[in-house]
């Protein structure tokens, strides 16, 4: 692999045969242009079996930074998985959607031919998305116990179904509100169409730099989502005496338990996710297409039906 001038990383959804087929087609096409591919060790055997003799190597800490782009065959969940590797190395991520509603993915699996041409010619643009850095402390301002990053959201959620989580939320060191709640989300604009969307938070255009604070079923008069400055530091203190504890999740992938007295801090992340885009598609177009939003009234639909009937 050391003789290859160009390298591309490939990751797949481990349980989707369609992901394996699309990735094998891509690797075959990209190898024909003299470009080598790297894959994680857990994906390597399955890919090598479909593309015998391919220019395929193991993706590891030593060769990862040499990759131009990481191509992900799966849904947004797989892009979040690939981002754990790509984010600290600042390698762009290009997603091929095999899921349902994929906002991060750029292409569909039927567009592998276009994908090959795009990677070979380097004709993609790189769009940057903000992230969140999270720290869990033993107490307010105390020892750091755990840290992680999030691309979509950080959530603090109750552990016991029958007991609410008691929290005190602070914004830039100033108390905002005390809630008895199922949990609290701090989301990025990217995450505003994920968990925060299902919790009735607003959709934020991804080019905005802001944080979104969303309480989950909070028992309080003031329990509305808030859009915050990108310079804001959100602090969530788990209060003693409520639920037996809670859990902090980052993108639903990395977690740690928290108990009364602990503090969770969330702020804009040090690194930005680099997404490879093959076209300058407006976000409103993605929103309409992914959610199937109606953009024509009943009269327009009737006219189209009449035209097709002729």
**Cα-Cα-Cα-Cα dihedral sign, residues 217, 220, 224, 226:** negative
Catalytic residue list contains 76: yes
Kind plus residue range of the DSSP H or E element containing 275 = strand 273-277
Strand, helix or coil at 310? coil
Whether the CB-CB separation of 308 and 156 falls below 8 Å is answered with no
Of the residues 43, 76, 182, 251, only one is catalytic, namely: 76
Length of the chain: 310
Single out the residue of 100, 254, 128, 101 nearest to residue 189, CA to CA.
Answer: 128
Kind plus residue range of the DSSP H or E element containing 238 = strand 234-238
Q: Are strands 165-171 and 254-258 parallel, antiparallel or unpaired?
A: unpaired
Strand, helix or coil at 25? helix
Q: What are the CA-CA distances from residue 4 to residues 38, 48, 57, 157 (Å)?
A: 11, 18, 11, 47
Q: What angle do CA 37, 40, 46 make, to 5 degrees?
A: 80
- Give 109's contacts (C-beta < 8 A, 6+ positions apart): 18, 19, 22, 73, 96, 97, 98
Active-site residue set: 76
């Amino acid at each position: 692999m050391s003789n290859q001038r160009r390298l591309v990383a490939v990751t797949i959804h481990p349980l989707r045969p369609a992901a394996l087929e699309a990735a094998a087609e891509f690797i075959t096409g990209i190898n024909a242009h003299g470009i080598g591919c790297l894959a994680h060790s857990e994906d390597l055997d399955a890919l090598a079996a479909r593309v015998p003799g391919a220019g395929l190597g193991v993706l590891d800490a030593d060769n990862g930074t040499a990759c131009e782009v990481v191509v992900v065959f799966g849904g947004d969940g797989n892009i979040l998985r690939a981002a754990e590797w790509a984010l600290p190395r600042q390698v762009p991520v290009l997603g091929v959607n095999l899921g349902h509603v994929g906002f991060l993915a750029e292409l569909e699996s039927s567009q592998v031919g276009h994908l090959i041409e795009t990677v070979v010619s380097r004709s993609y643009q790189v769009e940057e998305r903000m992230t969140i850095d999270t720290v869990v402390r033993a107490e307010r301002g105390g020892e750091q116990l755990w840290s992680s990053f999030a691309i979509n959201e950080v959530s603090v959620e109750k552990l016991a179904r029958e007991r609410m989580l008691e929290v005190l939320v602070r914004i830039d060191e100033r108390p905002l509100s005390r809630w008895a709640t199922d949990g609290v989300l701090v989301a990025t604009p990217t995450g505003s169409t994920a968990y925060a969307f299902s919790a009735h938070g607003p959709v934020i255009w991804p080019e905005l730099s802001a944080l979104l604070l969303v309480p989950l079923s909070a028992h309080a008069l003031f329990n509305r989502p808030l859009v915050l400055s990108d310079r804001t530091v959100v602090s969530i203190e788990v209060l003693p005496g409520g639920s037996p504890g809670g859990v902090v999740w980052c993108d639903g992938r990395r977690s740690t338990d928290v108990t009364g007295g602990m503090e969770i801090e969330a702020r804009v992340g040090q690194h930005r996710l680099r997404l490879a885009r093959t076209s300058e598609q407006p976000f409103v177009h993605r929103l309409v297409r992914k959610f199937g939003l109606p953009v024509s009234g009943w009269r327009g639909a009737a006219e189209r039906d009449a035209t097709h009937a002729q």
